[in-house]
């Protein structure tokens, strides 16, 4: 008998595969946050899927509960990295079909309804107060997700200034530079001969 895998599903409107990170959004039980696994880089896709299939994730009611203490291959916290890279996508629970195996499926809104009935109508996302657990940007995970879904405007018209755009571009550049450096180090570990060698400066002739 095939093993059932929690947290994996498919978007019914596009057919794309996904991992459901938050089965519900605070104060928005009809919406969830997913990661489009078909859109991930190969190494990140493998890390997410391996984490989903782990015993810890399968014992968690929500994948975020495991992701907040898991790490990617590059050493970054999984939940924080997905949040920072804006990989968490808000979609209606009615568009997500959970696929625990190759033969069975259930719509996420129906699954959430059944879980609520079993849990006495408790919300899917419980505040995380344990300081020993990693969270999103140093905040309680419920607070952070609420801010991600409904970001607060910094100005009356929420129009970004040139300074805001410049900071955003620099932040993206730093992310790409860090990822590029990580890929270089992985390449050097796989084939040390590729690593540049520091040679002695050539002697200058008069």
Which pTM does this prediction carry? 0.63
pLDDT digits (tens, 9 = 90+) for 82-136: 988 889 999 999 999 999 998 899 999 999 999 888 877 776 665 544 444 444 5
Alpha helices in 54-107 (DSSP H): 55-58, 63-67, 78-84
Smallest CA-to-CA distance from 72 within 89, 60, 59, 85 is with 85
Q: Residue 26 — pLDDT band, cuts 50, 70, 90?
A: confident
60 φ, ψ (degrees, to nearest 5): -95, 140
Q: Which residues contact 101 (CB under 8 A, 6 or more apart)?
A: 2, 3, 4, 5
- In which residue are the tokens 């990822």 written? 179
Tokens read off for 153: 């405007």
Tell me the pLDDT of the chain averaged across its residues.
78
Where exactly are the structural domains of the chain? 8-149, 162-194
Looking at residue 164, its pLDDT comes to 58
> Where are the strands (E) in the chain, listed by range?
8-11, 17-22, 31-36, 88-92, 96-98, 106-107
95, 11 contact by CB (below 8 A): yes
């Amino acid at each position: 008998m095939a093993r059932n895998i929690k947290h994996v599903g498919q978007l019914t409107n596009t057919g794309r595969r996904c991992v459901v990170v938050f089965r519900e959004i605070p104060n928005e039980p009809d919406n969830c946050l997913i990661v489009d696994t078909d859109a991930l880089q190969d190494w990140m896709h493998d890390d997410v899927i391996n984490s989903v299939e782990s015993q810890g994730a399968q014992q968690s009611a929500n994948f975020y509960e495991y992701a907040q203490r898991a790490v990617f291959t590059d050493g970054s916290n999984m939940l924080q990295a997905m949040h920072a890279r804006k990989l968490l996508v808000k979609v209606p629970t009615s568009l997500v079909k959970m696929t625990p195996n190759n033969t069975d499926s259930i719509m996420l809104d129906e699954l959430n309804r059944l879980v609520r009935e079993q849990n006495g109508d408790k919300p899917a996302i419980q505040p995380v107060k344990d300081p020993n657990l990693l969270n999103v940007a140093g905040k309680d995970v419920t607070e952070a997700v609420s801010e991600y879904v409904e970001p607060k405007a910094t100005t009356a018209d929420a129009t970004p200034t040139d300074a805001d755009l410049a900071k955003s571009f620099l932040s993206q550049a730093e992310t790409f530079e860090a990822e590029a450096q990580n890929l270089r180090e992985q390449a050097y570990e796989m084939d040390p001969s590729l690593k540049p060698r520091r040679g002695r400066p050539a002697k200058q002739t008069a």
